[in-house]
Amino acid sequence: MQDFIIHPLSEDAVLIHFGHKNQNIKVQNAINQIESFPFWGLRELVPAYHTLTVYYDPFIVNGSFPFEKVKGHLENILKENDTTSVFNNRFIEIPVCYEIEFAPDLEELANSNNLTVEEAIHIHSSVIYDVRFIGFSPGFPFLEGLNEKLHFPRKTVPRLKVHQGSVGIAGKQTGIYSLDSPGGWQIIGRTPIKLFNINIKNESPTLLKAGDKVKFHPISQKDFYLWKE
């Protein structure tokens, strides 16, 4: 049975919707299936929590109605319920300094959730998170697995500048700002390591990718400043 819906996003993209809850395993399976049997004109795949966006070139796909053709291709490719995907599951430890200088919102978050700052740090750094996808900005990981005790809504007024490396919480999500950018996530720490580096030749410019497992490792301010990659 078909358990997804294909919507046109634009003239050169469709968005496959896999249900209302987090369906990340289905998204990862779909990526594997489409990459194993790519159709002519496929451009790129952009995964998110419960959706997969498929970009294509409508002039290469050809025919009078490329959307219908691509929809047909995808229904064919995805009709087998492939659950055999093997993930690479790299494990990466990320050093984070949770001290006040780098964690402007940690105290408020801890207080609101009836925790001490130390408890909040301990909870945040003792879980192994799954990188669901990279989005928003180059190398920004959307992580799943945040303990309920740390769930906290976004700031009502976003900051104009969040420093690169800032570790944030938004609702039940946690993530890391890969670049200086505006943002509304609650900031609870900062990592000295770079999540995005365009100058590394012949390597992926991003530290993390979907499927990776991540754990945060608390470090002192001194370690932060002395950190060498």
List residues near other proteins by CB under 8 A.
7-13, 15, 17, 22, 43-53, 55, 58-59, 64-67, 133-140, 142, 171, 178-179, 181, 196, 198, 204-206, 209-210
- C-beta closer to other proteins: residue 6 or 188: 6
Q: Which is nearer to other proteins, 21 or 225 (CB)?
A: 21
Q: What DSSP state is assigned to residue 203?
A: S
Three-state SS string across 1-29, please?
CCCCEEEEEECCEEEEECCCCCCHHHHHH
State both tokens at 82.
């492939």
Q: How far is the CB of 176 from other proteins (least distance, A)?
A: 11
Residue 192 or 211: the one with the smaller Cβ distance to other proteins is 211
Residue 5 and residue 17 in contact, taking contact as beta carbons nearer than 8 Å: yes
Cβ 218 to other proteins shortest distance, Å: 26
β-sheet bridge partners, residue 196: 206
Take residue 172 and report the two structure tokens written for it.
């039940």
Minimum CB separation of residue 12 from other proteins in Å reads 7
User: In terms of CB distance, is 150 or 219 closer to other proteins?
Assistant: 150
CB of 134 to other proteins, least distance (A): 4
Taking the C-alpha atoms of residue 127 and residue 147, their distance in angstroms, rounded to an integer, is 8
Amino acid in position 141:
P
How many Cβ atoms sit within 10 Å of the Cβ of residue 47?
A: 21
Task: Closer to other proteins by CB, 55 or 122: give it.
Answer: 55
Minimum distance between the CB of residue 175 and other proteins, rounded to whole angstroms?
10
